[in-house]
Amino acid sequence: MKAATLPPIRVAPDFRCEIETVLQPGETLSKFVENAVRATVALRKRQAELVQRGFDCH
C-alpha cells in the first residue's frame, strides 16, 4: 500500500519551537506528529471500547 499524507497543520512559531525541544535524537517533526496521531487513535479506540462495555453491562 502506498503511504498517504496527513493534512498539514498550522501552529504558532513558538509552539513549533517548543515541540522541537522535545524531539528525541534523530526523531523528525513528521515522525513525532505521526506518533502523536497514532497514540491518540489508540486512546480513542480504547475509550470507545470502554464505553461500549459499559453499555453492554446494562
- pLDDT attached to residue 18: 98
Q: Residue 7: inside a domain, yes or no?
A: no
User: Structurally, how many domains does the chain consist of?
Assistant: 1
Q: Residue 37: inside a domain, yes or no?
A: yes
Residue that is written with C-alpha cell 498550522 in the block: 10
**Collapsing DSSP states into helix, strand and coil, what is residue 5?**
coil
- pLDDT attached to residue 29: 96
Q: Residue 4: inside a domain, yes or no?
A: no
Q: Please list the pLDDT of the chain residue by residue as tens digits (58 residues).
A: 899 999 999 999 999 999 999 999 999 999 999 999 999 999 999 999 999 998 888 6
- pLDDT attached to residue 13: 98
Q: Residue 51: inside a domain, yes or no?
A: yes
